[in-house]
Amino acid sequence: MSYSQTAWIIPLLPLVSFTLLLAFGRQMKEAGAWISTLLTGMSFVWAVLTLVARLGKPVSDYAWSYNWLQLEDTALSMGYELTNLNSWMMVVVTFVSLLVNLYSKGYMHGDERITVFYGYVSLFTFSMLGLVLSQNLLQLYVFWELVGVCSFLLVGFWFFKPEAKAAAKKAFIVTRIGDVGLFLAILILFWQMPGHALDFTSIHNAFTGNEITPGWTTLIAILIFIGAIGKSGQFPLHTWLPDAMEGPTPISALIHAATMVAAGVYLIVRTYDIFAASPDALLVVALVGAFTAVFAATIGMAQHDIKRILAYSTVSQLGYMMMALGLGSVSAGMFHLTTHAFFKALLFLGAGSVIHALHRQDIREMGGLASKMKITAVTFAIGALALSGIPPFSGFWSKDAILTVAYEENKLLFGIGLITAFFTAFYMARLYFLVFGGKRSGPTRNGHQEHVHESPPVMTLPLILLAVPAVLAGFLSTPWNGWFGEWLTGLPAEEHANLIVMVLSALAGIGGIILGYLMYEKGSVPADIVSRQVPWLARLTERKYYIDELYDRIIVAPLRGLGHVLQVLDDVVIGGIVRMSARAAVGLGRNGVKLQNGQVQTYGLVSLLGFVLFVILLVGRRYG
C-alpha cells in the first residue's frame, strides 16, 4: 500500500485528538496538550513521508471516493484526492500546526480551559487538512464552513472579554458574506456542469474543453473569488482579520499562516481552470489583490498594536498572492503562500513571546528588548527581514517571483507591488526598532522591563525551528531554478531572472528599513514628521480609512434599525393579535361558565334575549 492510499490518515489523527479531548478533556488537564501535540506531530511525519514519495519521479494523482448521496441519476460523492499541490499544503499546515501546539504549551500554561483550547486547535487542523484533501467542491465547502466555525470558536476563546466576543461574531458574519458567493458558485456549477459533476477532475475537463459558456464561466469565477475574499481578508471583506487578534496569539499564527486565510488562496488555485478560462475574472483578481496589498500596507504603517500591524501585513501579503494568481502565475502565488506561512507564523509567535513577557501590545510602550529576549529578538529579526523581502531571506525570492510576473504582464501592478514592498519594510522596521531597539518612547516602559525575561524553551524552540525555513525556503524556487513551480503545477518551468526587478525589489526593502532605522532608532528623522506635515493623512490611516465606521453607518446601523422595527412589529402587532385572541377566548370561556350556572331564570333570560335578537334581525332584514 502506497502513501497516496493512506493519505486519509493525515487529517484523521487531529480528529482523533479532538475526539479524545472532547471526551476526556476534564480529566486530562494539561496532559491533553501533549496528546494534541503528539498526534499532530504524527500527522506531520505522515505528511512528510507522503510528500517525499511524490518527489524525484513523476507520480500520478490518486483519487478515492464513494457515493455519499444518490439524487435520481446524480450521485454526490465524498473522498479524497492527492496531488503534488495538496501534498505540499499538508506539510505546511501540519508543520505550522505542530509548532503552534508546542508553543501553546507555554503560552496557555495555567489556563483553566487549556484542553478545550487544544481540542479546538485539533479540530481546526483537521478541518484545514480535510479542505486540502477534498476530492470535489461540495466536500471542500463542508470543510470550508468547518474552518469558519473553528475560527469563531478560537477567536472568541476568551469569551468573557467583550472584545473577543465581538471579534468572533464579526469574523463569523463577515466571512459568511463571502461564503454565500462560494455557495452560489457551487449551485451554478452543479447546474452547468455535464452530469452535475463537482469533482475537480471533471471541472478541469469541462473548463479546459470550453464546455461552459464564457458568461457563466466569468460569473462562477467571480463568485468563487468572493468566497476567497471573505476567507483571505481581501478588500472590502478584510475588516474581520485585524479584529481576530483578540484571540490567543498562537491562534493568530495558525489563522494567518497555515489555515483560515490560506484557504482562500488555495481555493482559487484548486479551481484555477475556471479562472484561466476567463481573462476578465483574472483581471478582477489581480486588481483587487494589488489594491488590497498597498491599502493594507498603508494602514499597517500607522498602527500601534503589535498584532494588528502583523495582521495588516497578512492582508497585504495575501493581496500579493492574489495579484500573482490574477496575473496567471500559480507557482508564484503558491510559493509566496509557502514562505509567508513560515515567516508569518514566526512573527506572530515572536509577538506572542513579547506579549507573554510584557503583558501589553502597544509598541509605543516597548523598547530595548533585544538584550533581554535574545532568541525572540534574533528570530523576530529573521522573520521581519523575510517579510521585508531582503535577500537572501525567503520572502525576497517569493516576492521577486510575483514582481517579475507583474513587470512582464502589467507595469502598473508592478509599480504598486514595489511601493507595497517599501511600505512593508518600513512598518516592519518601525515595529522592530520600537520593540527591540534601544530607543525609549513609552512612559511606563522602564518600570515593566526590569522584570522582562526570555520565554521558556517550549516557546523559543518553535521560533528557532520556524526561523530555518524563513531563511532557506526561498531557495525552493529561484529565478534560475524553477523546479518548485514545475513540480507543483506540472507545467514546464521558465527561467524568469530579471536583474532590474531583483535590484528594484531589494532597494525597496532596504530603503524602507533604512528610513525606519533613521526615524525610530537613530532619530535623525522625526518620527512624527507625517503627523505634523499632513495630520489628516496620519489620522486617516490610523483610523483604517474609517472602513469600520462606514460599514457601521451604511450596513450595521440600518440593519439594527430594521431589527428594532421588526421587533416592535412582532411585540405590538403580532404579539398584540395573539394576546387579544387569547384574552377573547378566555373572556368567552369565563362568560360561558357564568351562563352555565344551573339557574333556570338565567337560561330563560338568555333564551328571551336570543329570541328578541332573532326577531330584530328578521324584521330588519325584511324592511332594511
Residue 493: per-residue pLDDT:
67
Residue 490: per-residue pLDDT:
80
Strand partners, 305: 362
What percentage of the chain carries pLDDT values higher than 90? 75
Q: In the predicted model, is pLDDT for residue 37 greater than 60?
A: yes
Residue 2: per-residue pLDDT:
82
pLDDT band at 498 (very low <50, low <70, confident <90, very high): confident
Residue 290: per-residue pLDDT:
97
The full set of domain ranges for the chain reads: 550-621
Closest CA to 232 of 252, 249, 255: 255
Q: Can you spell out the DSSP letters for 492-538?
A: PP-----HHHHHHHHHHHHHHHHHHHIIIII-SS-TTHHHHH-HHHH
Residue 500: per-residue pLDDT:
93
Distance of CA 403 to the CA centre of its chain: 24
Q: Which cell goes with 241? A: 482579520
**φ, ψ dihedrals at 306, nearest 5°:** -60, -40
**Between these two residues, 262 and 481, which has the higher pLDDT value?**
262
Q: Which of 29-33, 546-550, 570-574 has the lowest mean pLDDT?
A: 29-33
Residue 624: per-residue pLDDT:
61
**Residue 134 DSSP one-character state:** B
Residue 447: per-residue pLDDT:
52
State mean pLDDT over 583-588: 92
Q: In the predicted model, is pLDDT for residue 497 greater than 90?
A: no
Q: In the predicted model, is pLDDT for residue 483 greater than 90?
A: no
412-441 pLDDT per residue, tens:
999 999 999 999 999 999 999 999 997 554
Q: Which of 188-197, 448-457, 613-622 has the lowest mean pLDDT?
A: 448-457
89-116 pLDDT per residue, tens:
999 999 999 999 999 999 998 888 899 9
Residue 442: per-residue pLDDT:
47
Residue 260: per-residue pLDDT:
84
Q: Indicate the SS3 state at residue 478.
A: strand
pLDDT band at 491 (very low <50, low <70, confident <90, very high): confident
Residue 623: per-residue pLDDT:
66
Strand partners, 478: 481
State mean pLDDT over 465-485: 90
Q: Cα dihedral sign for 268, 272, 278, 279? A: positive
Strand partners, 79: 65
Q: In the predicted model, is pLDDT for residue 142 greater than 90?
A: yes
500-526 pLDDT per residue, tens:
999 999 999 999 999 999 999 998 999
Distances (CA, A) of 480 to 211, 475, 477, 497: 37, 10, 8, 6
Provide CB contacts within 8 A for 97, sequence distance 6+.
14, 40, 43, 44, 121, 124, 125, 128, 254, 258, 259
pLDDT band at 448 (very low <50, low <70, confident <90, very high): low
Q: In the predicted model, is pLDDT for residue 443 greater than 50?
A: no
Provide the CB-side half-sphere exposure for 111 (13 A, CA).
17
Q: In the predicted model, is pLDDT for residue 444 greater than 80?
A: no
Q: In the predicted model, is pLDDT for residue 165 greater than 70?
A: yes
Distance CA 619, CA 624 (A): 8
State mean pLDDT over 358-383: 93
Strand partners, 66: 78
The residue assigned the cell 452543479 is 190
Provide CB contacts within 8 A for 255, sequence distance 6+.
151, 154, 155, 244, 247, 261
Provide CB contacts within 8 A for 33, sequence distance 6+.
101, 104, 105, 108, 114, 115, 118
Rounded to the nearest 10°, the torsion over CA 460, 466, 472, 476 is 170
Average pLDDT, the chain: 91
Q: What is the pTM of this model?
A: 0.89
272-283 pLDDT per residue, tens:
999 999 999 999
State mean pLDDT over 598-612: 83
Distance CA 94, CA 96 (A): 6
Residue 450: per-residue pLDDT:
58
State mean pLDDT over 559-581: 92
Closest CA to 231 of 138, 332, 314: 314
Q: In the predicted model, is pLDDT for residue 406 greater than 50?
A: yes
